[in-house]
Amino acid sequence: MVLRRWHEHVEEALAGLPQGSRGYHVLAVVVYEDVPNQNALASRLVIDRSVLTYLIDDLEAAGLVERRLDPNDRRVRRLVATERGRKVLAVAEEQVALAEEQVLRGLPAAQRAALRDAVEQAADAIIASAPMTDPCLAVDGVFEQPVTD
pLDDT digits (tens, 9 = 90+) for 99-136: 999 999 989 999 988 988 998 898 888 778 766 555 55
Burial label for 138, CB within 10 Å (0-12, 13-18, 19+), is buried
Q: Residue 115 sits in which domain range?
A: 107-139
> Is 11 within a domain?
yes
Same-domain pairing of 38 and 81: yes
Same-domain pairing of 70 and 114: no
Return the pLDDT at 149: 52
Domain count, the chain: 2
Same-domain pairing of 114 and 47: no
Q: Which amino acid is at 40?
A: A
Return the pLDDT at 131: 64
Mean pLDDT of the chain: 86
pTM summary value: 0.79
The closest alpha carbon to 66, from 30, 22, 105, 17, belongs to: 30
C-beta of residue 30 within 8 angstroms of C-beta of residue 44: no
Q: Which amino acid is at 120?
A: E
C-beta of residue 10 within 8 angstroms of C-beta of residue 2: no
